[in-house]
Structure 1
């Protein structure tokens, strides 16, 4: 699976240079020129790693770290100047995971990115296994407490709606056929029960989607079924 990387830097030349190197590694790139724009992207996109400059107008890197760590555990690699030792220490204390100094060696940056992504993937797998938690963008589901939240706001689902959402999250990235959803959730053989599945999907979307007619989470694969994209 391709990873999504967010570059936050007020210098467009730096952003574009990093993007060139990272696209050669098949990463998907998002750009922001300050921390405020970065937070907006972080809320909308499923970001796997952030490359963050410290010195920026409007919202600097340290303020971004404080705001981001209230909701997200996305790995953060800081870009710093060689004489910013105090800022480096502050950034690491505020939740950044690593740093690299300008001017940087692109190969070193890529190596640090891969290291952070490996660690993040391991932690996510362990967290899901240990706590039965599923996290996707602003959606959170816990199979033990049966909590569902959208952007930290609790959502009340019926048992059937919960099981459908859980099934789609477990199989994130794969299309779940209507017959498979029915057999897994209802526990019965599928006998032309498309309408049953469709009605429950519609009700589920009304509770978790900002715009149920243009869903962000549950996508319709016409003639087949539904999926939550990676």
Structure 2
């Protein structure tokens, strides 16, 4: 990250600093706050959830995320932003912690996940899967398979052992596994995630209701 370098020297920096390895990145930025945003991003469980830098290049919004990955988002595919006049698109500010971009003229905020979801459906599925990582997806997967009368051996691309481990929550559901489940259930990935979401929500509400009834019974017994 370089804050004070003459423009004439930029093209020579990579060789001068010996940045020849693919795991090394050079980002030129004039905003001193980028250092703070980088430190915060590296402290996040997922550094990509932080924004280091952003700028408009032709019809795209270019964003450098906390993991130093560079994403090019066509403005025409970004919700709300696509309706902005060209002059307004570039009038954004980066949140001091790097959590989002803010367009003060339109009072619009957009974080990395929202931008990625707008252009990458697989990322949307991965976000949904991570939401359920700590919840009981195993029963939802098992119920979805049982409803289609499929055996654990009838999920093409996944071994019986892997399906069994998924349904016992011994391994995390990944986007790749979700794709294979979706095909076996004759659903699109989006349809699969929608149904999974509904079932997990239903299971969570049932568990919450049972827990509430249990607390009520305990209270009644204590009173009696």
TM superposition score normalised by structure 1: 0.25
Q: From the CA coordinates, give the structure whose radius of gyration is larger.
A: 2
Between structures 1 and 2, the one with greater helix share: 2
Between structures 1 and 2, the one with greater strand share: 1
